[in-house]
């Protein structure tokens, strides 16, 4: 019944003919020029280097698509490298989730899974080399003193009293730092570069610090750990990366990246290229902020469907194809901006439109008794799973004396242009027939509508009117006896503000949380054909949006559905208005 997602290979083949070639961008321009000049013998090697200190988010997806995409386009390679140089924040759970997410997105690092921690011994030797060259020294100032000595944009830095330690003394101290003789913070190893540089990163940056912490892979073997700037360029070089693609905040670090690679005898000198990170409206992206939401219990976990982690988007019902399409459409640029989340929603809607069967589910049931259908009599109507693609097949939907429609689809006092149900009016039940409302039963105390009585017109089987009378409204519905209970979770934006981080630095970003970002409906009724649905199956619920089965479901007992996205496409509207 449900069309399975095509396997990745097949999907690629389907995409290939006629599909637009991936757009060019400034990174590809650089690579093309490099290849024309014969740099790296025309070879292209990229890497995706996450730090395993949280779950990946859609910003990472942009970087993954870019790095793996470029490698594929140039018949090169893309490594997955876990940049695990900070033992305090890193965990095996994160490593596993990262691998899982990348595979799910449809990318393959083949046998090239690396860890920066595998190079710790190499990094150490490189550091020793720099000391021997007189280009690195052990500094015993405290963290605050180092900061103070470093000066600022207007003031040149001041030399540390340890800057002129002898090579021998430096070698000895560095070896003893490694041996664990000193407590955290007692010494650091610094590169000896330029205290007057206008680039603060070059004012004798720290290369190593003492951290007596257990590492998730190297255990207690090390108590000194390399800093990102030192480890990253060397990891790239050791792996023979040709183009080291990263986000803009590393632009000012590039001179340092190049300095280490120029000073040391390294296997190769990769080129760092920076692009603007992805920001998305109405959400936060940084792992630190996401961790805060998870730890404070503001969301239910790293895979909460309201946050933009890959795991969250997956649970929400996003497809890998829709995320890849989104990343393709936003492109790569040098200027930062915030992408409208409506574009992401548009991409998933477009993808789901042609790959999901359409079914009927009532979220807020209102009981309707069909007076002229005797109890026990069941009419069956044929209903295709897709309006244009017969490949989806069809099912029979049962129609019996008691049915449910949405509470919202009935108004006792309808406004003008109300085509849904109201007293004395007719409406079409999707795939079934025309019914007319003849009586309204209300709660005496509250006045709330409790039950409707209708009659059906057997001459309208299938929904057509043989006498040609116009029926404008069509409702989705289910048979009370045949339908099954379900829980449905509706999501809204997690924040009220398009940019929740706007405003003062350090202000509490959780202040603009949307308290209604999750609505749980527990008395929904699903059509019987959905009884066999399994986690991650996706559907269009007619008139309500796209939904997928949540792993919280207990198949055969109670199914839980997440709404991926509603049917209203604000992005398509924006695009249309721009075409005009
Ligand atoms: P965050 O700032 O969200 O906590 P990070 O930069 O610390 O993320 P890393 O694990 O270091 O996360 O990132 C791995 C790679 O993903 C890096 O190359 C980084 O540049 C890239 N990346 C991270 N966030 C984004 C983003 N929002 N858009 C594009 N690329 C990103
Ligand atoms: Mg980082």
Does ligand 1 have an atom closer than 6 angstroms to the CB of 285?
Answer: yes
Structure tokens at 241: 């990366």
Catalytic residue among 287, 358, 395, 525: 287
| Chain segment 438-466, per-residue pLDDT in tens | 999 999 999 999 999 999 999 999 999 99
Q: What is the mean pLDDT of residues 332-336?
A: 92
**Domains recognised in the chain with CATH numbers:** 26-275 (3.40.50.620), 371-389+408-472 (2.40.240.10)
Separation CA 157–CA 154 (nearest Å): 10
Of the pLDDT bands very low, low, confident and very high (cuts 50, 70, 90), residue 575 is confident
| Chain segment 561-573, per-residue pLDDT in tens | 999 999 987 777 7
> Any bridge partners for residue 122, and if so which?
none
Structure tokens at 421: 């149900």
Q: What is the mean pLDDT of residues 217-226?
A: 97
Q: Which of 70, 229, 277 most suits a substitution to test ligand 1, by most atoms within 8 Å of the C-beta?
A: 277
Q: What is the mean pLDDT of residues 228-239?
A: 98
| Chain segment 249-286, per-residue pLDDT in tens | 999 999 999 999 999 999 999 999 999 999 999 999 99
What is the H or E stretch that residue 489 is in? Answer: strand 484-491
Active site residue 287: yes
Separation CA 178–CA 176 (nearest Å): 5
Shortest-distance Cα residue to atom 23 of ligand 1: 60
Question: What distance, in Å, lies between the first and last C-alpha atoms of the chain?
Answer: 40
Nearest to 324 by CA among 68, 5, 134: 68
Q: What is the DSSP annotation of 193-257?
A: --TT-SSGGGSS-EEEEE----BTTTBTS-SEEE-HHHHHHHHHHHTT-SEEEEEGGGGGGHHHH
pLDDT value for 580: 55
Dihedral sign, CA of 517, 518, 521, 524? positive
Whether the Cβ atoms of residue 244 and residue 273 lie closer than 8 Å to each other: yes
Does ligand 1 have an atom closer than 6 angstroms to the CB of 59?
Answer: yes
Q: What percent of the chain has pLDDT over 70?
A: 96
| Chain segment 190-210, per-residue pLDDT in tens | 999 999 999 999 999 999 999
Q: What is the DSSP annotation of 285-326?
A: --HHHHHHHHHTTSSSSTT-TTS-BHHHHHHHT--HHHHHHH
- 10 Å Cβ neighbour count for 462? 10
Q: What is the mean pLDDT of residues 300-327?
A: 98
Q: Which of 47, 49, 50 most suits a substitution to test ligand 1, by most atoms within 8 Å of the C-beta?
A: 50
């Amino acid at each position: 019944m449900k069309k399975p997602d095509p396997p990745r290979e097949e999907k690629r083949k389907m995409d290939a003919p006629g599909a637009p070639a991936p757009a060019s961008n400034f990174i590809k321009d650089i690579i093309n020029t490099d290849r024309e000049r014969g740099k790296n013998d025309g070879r292209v090697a990229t890497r995706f280097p996450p730090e395993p200190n949280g779950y990946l988010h859609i910003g990472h997806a942009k970087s993954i698509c870019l790095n793996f995409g470029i490698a594929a386009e140039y018949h090169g390679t893309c490594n997955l490298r876990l940049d695990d140089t900070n033992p305090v924040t890193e965990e095996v759970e994160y490593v596993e989730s990262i691998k899982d997410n990348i595979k799910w997105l449809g990318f393959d690092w083949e046998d090239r899974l690396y860890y920066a921690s595998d190079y710790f011994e190499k990094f150490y030797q490189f550091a020793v080399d720099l000391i021997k060259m007189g280009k690195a020294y052990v500094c015993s100032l405290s963290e605050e003193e180092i900061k103070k000595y470093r000066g600022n944009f207007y003031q040149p830095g001041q030399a540390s009293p340890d800057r002129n330690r002898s090579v021998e003394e430096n070698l000895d101290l560095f070896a003893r730092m490694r041996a664990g003789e000193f407590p955290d913070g007692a010494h650091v190893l610094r590169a000896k570069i330029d205290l007057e540089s206008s680039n603060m990163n070059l004012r004798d940056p720290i290369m190593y610090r003492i951290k007596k912490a257990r590492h998730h892979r190297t255990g207690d073997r090390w108590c000194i750990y390399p800093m990102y700037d030192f480890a990253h360029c060397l990891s790239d070089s050791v792996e023979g990366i040709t183009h080291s693609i990263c986000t803009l905040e590393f632009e000012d670090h590039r001179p340092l990246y190049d300095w280490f690679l120029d000073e040391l005898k390294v296997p190769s000198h990769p080129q760092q290229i920076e692009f603007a990170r992805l920001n998305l409206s109405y959400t936060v992206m940084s792992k630190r902020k996401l961790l805060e939401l998870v730890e404070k219990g503001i969301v239910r976990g790293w895979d909460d469907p309201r946050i933009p982690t890959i795991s969250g988007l997956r649970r929400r019902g996003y497809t890998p194809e829709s995320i890849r399409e989104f990343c393709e459409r936003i492109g790569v640029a040098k200027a930062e901006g915030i992408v409208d989340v409506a574009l992401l929603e548009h991409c998933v809607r477009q993808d789901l439109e042609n790959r999901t069967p359409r079914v009927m589910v009532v979220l807020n049931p209102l009981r309707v008794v069909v007076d002229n259908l005797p109890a026990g009599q069941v009419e069956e109507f044929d209903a295709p799973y897709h309006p244009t693609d017969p490949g989806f097949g069809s099912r029979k939907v049962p129609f019996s004396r008691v049915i449910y429609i949405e509470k919202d689809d009935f108004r006792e006092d309808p406004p003008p242009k109300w085509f849904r149900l109201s007293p004395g009016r007719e409406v079409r039940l999707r795939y079934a027939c025309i019914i007319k409302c003849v009586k309204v039963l209300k709660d005496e105390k509250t006045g709330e509508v409790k039950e409707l009585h209708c009659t059906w017109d057997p001459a309208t089987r299938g929904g057509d009117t043989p006498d040609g009378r116009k029926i404008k409204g069509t409702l989705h519905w289910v048979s009370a006896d045949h339908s099954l209970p379900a829980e449905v979770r509706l999501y809204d934006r997690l924040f009220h503000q398009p940019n929740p981080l706007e405003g003062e630095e350090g202000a509490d970003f959780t202040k603009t949380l949307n308290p209604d970002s999750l609505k749980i409906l527990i008395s929904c009724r699903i059509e019987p054909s959905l009884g066999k649905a399994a986690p991650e199956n996706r559907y269009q619920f007619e008139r309500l949006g796209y939904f997928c089965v949540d792993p919280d479901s207990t198949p055969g007992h109670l199914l839980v559905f997440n709404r991926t996205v509603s049917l209203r496409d604000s992005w398509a509207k924006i695009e249309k208005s721009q075409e005009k």
